[in-house]
Structure 1
Amino acid sequence: MKVFGIAGTSGSGKTTLTEELIRRFTEDGVRVAAVKHTHHGFDLDTPGKDSYRMREAGSTDVVLVSESRLVLMREYRAAPEPELPDVLALLSPCDVVLVEGYKRSAVPKLEVYRPSRGKPPLWPEFPDVVAVASDEPLTTPLPRLDLNDVDAIYAFIRDYLTRSPEITVPQR
């Protein structure tokens, strides 16, 4: 599988861009998986439902299965948060994985950067940033893409992935 990240500060437009990129890859017949990393706690379950009760009783993994989807909920409790390779190992076979977040992971990534938000760019600190998409002019040694031109961003990522090796994920 090929893995490419979308990184940036909160509110920069990472999710909107990732959604559009998924749509374009899918329209081109590419099997896409998405990984979203968040620093905020979340719960997809509903208190009182069977799966919630199973987790609350102490089950480490609860799998919900229906005719149209499967969801794995895993409680880490005191264990450390999984690293990106651990998450990739859980995915079904696909052609491309788009990773939103995991900015410290060693995968190539595009930074979504909006100088007007008043935060410093990531690219000077994170060597795996290979390009920057911005809605304002800026000076960077990296390729700079117009954040409003999703077709150009998609073409850049598609071409980058064409030249990149497959990532081997350890099997569980």
Structure 2
Amino acid sequence: MNNVFSFVGASGSGKTTFIEKLIRFLTEKGYKVGAIKHDAHKFEIDKPGKDSFRFKAAGAIVSLISSHEKLALVKSNIDNEPDLQEIILKYMNGVEIVITEGYKKSDIPKFEVFRKGNGNSPVSFDSRYLMGVITDYEPSEVIDLMKHYPRETSREIKIFNLEDVEKVAEYIIDMSVITPPIIEIESDNEAISKYLSSNLDALKFFPDIKNVKIKIG
């Protein structure tokens, strides 16, 4: 996938803080950013006692709350957890860059946040998809450490300081290429055409898709 970047690291490494700064910088530069957080454990995003929580607790598969400013949706995974591609196709329409936290086993470009004093080992130094390390170690220390983690590629790994938000953002921008597929929709119903067009926007993250033709009727 194009324009999708994952940030990984051990718990307490500072991933979320760095991602927050990165999203703010990219947004200020005019980019539309989508963010996805992967949680390996069960989570509860709603608050007990709230109407939407009560709907969900009562058995609703989908619970949605909407206002003029925003929309929030909580949906039970009835069968299996959706993979990252499915999530992007369903929910990342209208954005230009997707930043994820987690998905360390995925095949998308990733940056590891690796901090001194954390007491944990690197989680992706052996990944062929590792693009950069964000750290407070000296570059020479990171290079020496990476010798203990054989990788299947000779790709150069960029090393950034924990404060190098702008440099990481510029690196991501340089790697970002969007070539939207040509989408042709034949339908007598204008509302359906607009719906399909807007909901096919996320196909731009999949470079192998060049042309899409849909005929309704």
Q: TM tier, shorter chain?
A: 0.7 to 0.9
In the alignment, which residue of structure 2 is the partner of 1:48? 49
Report the identity percentage: 35
SS in 1 for 2:90: coil
Give the AA of the match of 2:88: L
Aligned counterparts of 2:72 and 2:65: Cα–Cα separation in 1: 5
1:4 matches 2:21 = no
Contact 2:3 2:175 in 1 (8 A): no
List alignment gaps of at least 5 residues for structure 2.
147-155, 181-203, 210-217
Distance of aligned partners of 1:75 and 1:58 in 2 relative to their CA distance in 1, 3 Å threshold: same
> Over alpha carbons, which structure has the higher Rg?
2
Give the 3-state SS of the residue equivalent to 1:126 in structure 2.
coil
**Corresponding position of 2:61:** 60
CA distance in structure 2 between the aligned counterparts of 1:5 and 1:163, rounded to whole angstroms = 17
1:21 is matched with which residue? 22
- Number of residue pairs aligned between Structure 1 and Structure 2: 169
**Following TM superposition, where does structure 1 have runs of at least 4 consecutive aligned residues deviating by more than 6 angstroms?**
none
Asked if structure 2 preserves the Cα contact closer than 8 Å seen for 1:2 and 1:164, the reply is no
Query: What is the root-mean-square deviation of aligned Cα atoms in Å?
Result: 2.4
Q: Return the offset for 1:115.
A: 4.3
Residue identity in the other structure for 2:111:
L
**Equivalent of 2:205 in 160, 167, 172:** 167
1:41-83 deviation per Cα after TM superposition (whole angstroms, max 9, x unaligned): 2212222332222212221111110111101101125x32221
Cα 1:17/1:128, change in 2 over 3 Å: same
Deviates more, 1:117-126 or 1:10-19: 117-126
Larger RCO of the pair (alpha carbons < 8 Å, separation 6+): 1
CA distance in 2, matches of 1:40, 1:58: 21
2:82 is matched with: 82
User: Structure 1 residues 163 and 115, CA, compared in 2 at 3 Å: closer, same or farther?
Assistant: farther
1:163 & 1:88 partners in 2: Cα distance?
Answer: 15
SS in 1 for 2:107: coil
Q: Measured at CA, do residues 123 and 50 of structure 1 come closer, stay the same or move farther in structure 2, by a change above 3 Å?
A: closer
CA distance in 2, matches of 1:65, 1:25: 27
1:29, 1:152 → 2: CA distance?
16
Q: Which amino acid aligns with 2:172?
A: I
TM-score by length of 2: 0.70
Cα displacement string for residues 120-155 of structure 1 (whole angstroms, at most 9, x for unaligned residues) = 223333221111111111214622111222222222
